[in-house]
């Protein structure tokens, strides 16, 4: 099957610094691809490049490569070569994104309902009333309790987990084909993390969207991913199905990442946590 989104040879620079170098991967409909790496490995920049937000909010520049996307009309287009107005048609509509910090990712001065409705009105051409209906449906879908009351609330009146649900509702409100989630659970409590991951897995099954999840947490990868791409220092160092990565990772860097997940009982008999071994990856 043809991939829905195919990143090929992507290179992104910030001035003289290369944040992403020759990165390639494919995402298929209904699948979840996890991009794993430490902070600074280039995984978030990769995600922002797909949205073409890397040139808008930051000083990054896509130097080379193409990002092929099969849009809702079935055409394959190169996102790198789309004009800004064409990208706006795609952003939040066919490809949408949720971010790491639910606490700061919503505008403090507008109600959450209005913020979600804004995307619906923009992309689906609904009027205010129909948009609010849609928002209500979305809030129910992401299992926000008392959705009617919640819609009128402001971000500061909600917990982090609730806000992340709002972000997910916003991202899914226009039935995107690809959902990019940049560290969606990192800022949340462990129990809320599990809820949000479960929600994302369910929603992927319900909507059939492809999911690109960016994380540094191998636990998250094990929970949701079908395929894994491991990045380190701007480059892809290893890729493969999730089982293969967990069972027989060949790269020392991947092994180190896996080893950083503590196993229950692994510290029995020690009087203090054992220090992690620092693995310097040498290409």
Binding residues vs other proteins (CB under 8 A): 51, 53, 56-57, 84, 87-93, 96-97, 99, 101, 104-111, 115, 118-119, 122-123, 154, 156-157, 167, 170
For other proteins, the closer CB: 106 or 199? 106
Residue 242: which region, alpha, beta or left (left: phi > 0; alpha: psi -120 to 50)? alpha
Q: Is 152:111 a contact under the CB 8 Å cutoff? A: yes
**Least separation in angstroms between CB 45 and other proteins:** 13
Instruction: Give the nearest distance from C-beta 253 to other proteins in angstroms.
Output: 29
At its nearest, how many Å lie between other proteins and the CB of residue 207? 18
Question: From the CB of 239, what's the least distance to other proteins, in Å?
Answer: 26
Choose between 73 and 247: whose C-beta lies nearer to other proteins: 73
- Strand 61-70 and strand 5-14: pairing? antiparallel
Up-side HSE of residue 261: CA atoms within 13 Å toward CB?
12
- Residue among 48 and 228 whose Cβ is closer to other proteins: 48
CA 278 remoteness from chain centre: 27
Answer yes or no: are the C-beta atoms of 143 and 202 closer than 8 Å.
no
For residue 282, the minimal CB distance to other proteins (Å) is 34
**3-class secondary structure, 92:** coil
Give every strand in the sheet of 235-241, ordered side by side: 95-98, 178-182, 210-215, 32-36, 227-232, 235-241
Q: Please say which residue, 118 or 226, places its beta carbon nearer to other proteins.
A: 118
- Whether 74 and 268 have beta carbons less than 8 Å apart is answered as no
Shortest separation between residue 263's beta carbon and other proteins, angstroms: 34
| Cβ proximity to other proteins, 23 vs 116, nearer residue | 116
Shortest Å distance, C-beta 101 to other proteins: 5
Closer CB to other proteins, 95 or 236, in the complex: 95
As a whole number of angstroms, the distance between CA 185 and CA 193 comes to: 5
At 64 the three-state DSSP class reads strand
What is the Cα Rg of the chain in Å?
Answer: 19
Rounded least distance, CB 8 to other proteins, Å: 23
Q: Which residues pair with 64 in a beta bridge?
A: 11
Separation CA 55–CA 35 (nearest Å): 21
Residue 171 and residue 98 in contact, taking contact as beta carbons nearer than 8 Å: yes
Nearer to other proteins (CB atom), residue 146 or residue 280: 146
């Amino acid at each position: 099957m043809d991939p829905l989104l195919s990143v090929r040879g992507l290179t992104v620079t910030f001035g003289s610094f290369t944040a992403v170098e020759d990165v390639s991967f494919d995402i298929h409909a209904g699948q979840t691809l996890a991009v794993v790496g430490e902070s600074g490995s280039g995984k978030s920049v990769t995600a922002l490049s797909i949205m073409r937000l890397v040139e808008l909010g930051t000083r990054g520049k896509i130097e080379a490569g193409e990002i092929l996307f099969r849009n809702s009309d079935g055409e394959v287009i190169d996102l790198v070569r789309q004009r800004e107005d064409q990208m706006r048609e795609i952003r939040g509509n066919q490809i949408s994104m949720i971010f790491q910090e639910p606490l700061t990712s919503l505008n403090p001065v507008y109600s959450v309902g209005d913020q979600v409705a804004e995307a619906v009105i923009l992309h689906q051409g609904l009027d205010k009333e129909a948009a609010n209906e849609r928002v209500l449906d979305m809030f129910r879908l992401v299992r926000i309790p008392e959705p009617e009351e919640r819609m009128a609330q402001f971000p500061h009146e909600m917990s982090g987990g609730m806000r992340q649900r709002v972000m997910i509702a916003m991202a899914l409100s226009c039935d995107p084909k690809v959902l990019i989630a940049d560290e969606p659970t990192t800022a949340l409590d462990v129990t809320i993390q599990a809820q949000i991951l479960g929600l994302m897995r369910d929603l992927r099954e319900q909507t059939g969207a492809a999911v690109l999840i960016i994380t540094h947490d191998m636990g998250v990868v094990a929970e949701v991913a079908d395929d894994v791409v491991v990045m380190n220092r701007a480059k892809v160092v290893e890729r493969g199905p999730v089982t293969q990565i967990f069972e027989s990772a060949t790269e020392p860097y991947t092994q180190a990442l896996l080893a950083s997940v503590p196993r229950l009982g692994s510290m029995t008999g020690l009087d203090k946590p054992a220090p992690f071994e620092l693995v310097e990856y040498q290409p």
